[in-house]
Amino acid sequence: MKARSAQDGPRDADVERRLQAGDPPPAGPALAAELAAALARTRTAVGASTPQRGAAGAPSVSAPLRRRPVIRDGQPVAAFIRHPAPWGLLHVAVGERGLVAIELAAETDDFAAELAQRLGGGVVPAGPGIPQPWRETLSAAARQLEEYFAGRRPAFSLPVDLRASPWDRLVLDATRRVSYGEVMSYGELARAIGRPRAARAVGGALGRNPIPLVIPCHRIVAADGRLGGYGGGHGTRARMLDVKRSLLALEGVRLAR
C-alpha cells in the first residue's frame, strides 16, 4: 500500500523541545518537515554537507556518553549516532563491515554498553576520528532513515554486518524479503523457511533482531491479525507495540485488531 506523503511545517523549535525531553514529535503528515532541523544535525554529525540549523542548545546526535566508553586494544569496534524517529530518538551503529545495530528505544549509555559487550570491543559516539568508511555508512543510514520516515523509501540499501546464529540468520534473511506495506504471520514465515512447526522459535529470532527497520521484523504479526510482539528496543512492551503499530501505519498497514 502507498505510504502517506509529507508536507512542510515550521515547528522546529517545538520538535527540539520534544526531543530534548525524550518525547515523540507530533505525528501526522507534517512529520518530515518538523524533523528537518534534527535530521540536519544528524547529517552534519556524520560528515554530510548540509549545515546544522534549528533551536540553539538542541541535543547533539553524537553527544558524549555519561559513562566513559571502554575501548580495548586502543581502537573502537563500532561508532554510533542518534537519529530522530517519530517516537523520539533511535541509535544507529556501524563497524568495519557495515551496520551492526539499530536500537529503537534505549538510553544511550545502555545501548553503548550492551553493544560493546556483544561485539567484544569499544563503542563510541561518531566523531572526526572514526574511519571514513564508517562515516559514509552512517551518513547513508541517516539519509535513508530520513527518507523512510518521510514515506519516500520502501527499502534500505545499506551494508549489514549481521552477527547471528545460523537459525536467527535464516529467519532474519527471510524477513528482509517481506516488502514495504506487506505483513506476514509468524506461522507463514516459519513455513516459508521450511519449518512449519517453528512459529514460536521464529518469534524468538525476531526478538533478537539487532538491526530492526533495515531487517523489517515489524512486518511480522500474529495469525489472528494482532500485532504480536516487538523486540526492536528496550522500552516497555506497550511502548514497543506502539512503535510497531506506528511503523506499520507509516507503510499504510492498518491491522484489524
User: How many residues in the chain?
Assistant: 257
CATH number for region 166-250? 1.10.10.10
Dihedral angle sign, alpha carbons of residues 55, 94, 192, 177: positive
Whole-number pLDDT of residue 166:
96
At 167 the pLDDT is 97
φ, ψ at 123 (rounded to 5°): -130, 125
Give the integer Cα–Cα distance in Å for 66 and 71: 15
pLDDT digits (tens, 9 = 90+) for 93-144: 999 999 999 999 888 999 999 999 999 999 999 998 899 999 999 999 999 9
- Which sequence spans correspond to the domains of the chain? 12-149, 166-250
What pLDDT sits at residue 5?
Answer: 34
Q: Which residues are catalytic?
A: 217
pLDDT reported for residue 65? 52
Distance CA 187, CA 201 (A): 10
pLDDT at 66: 55
Question: ∠ at Cα 36 (30, 149), nearest 5°?
Answer: 60
Q: What pLDDT, on the 0 to 100 scale, is given for residue 75? A: 84
Distances (CA, A) of 242 to 145, 186, 239: 19, 19, 5
Per-residue pLDDT at 206: 96
Q: Strand, helix or coil at 91?
A: strand
98-103 vs 122-125, strand pairing mode: unpaired
Report yes or no on whether pTM surpasses 0.75: no
pLDDT reported for residue 59: 32
Buried b / exposed e along 159-192 (16+ C-beta atoms within 10 A): ebbbebeebbebbbebbbebebeebbbbbbbbbb
Angle between helices 199-207 and 166-175 (to 10 degrees): 90
Residues of the chain with pLDDT under 70: 1-74, 232-235, 256-257
Cell 563497524 locates to: 95
pLDDT at 140: 97
**Residue 225 to residue 233: CA distance in whole angstroms:** 22
pLDDT of residue 42: 43
- What pLDDT score was predicted for residue 238? 87
Instruction: Give the dihedral sign, CA 24/111/179/238.
Output: negative
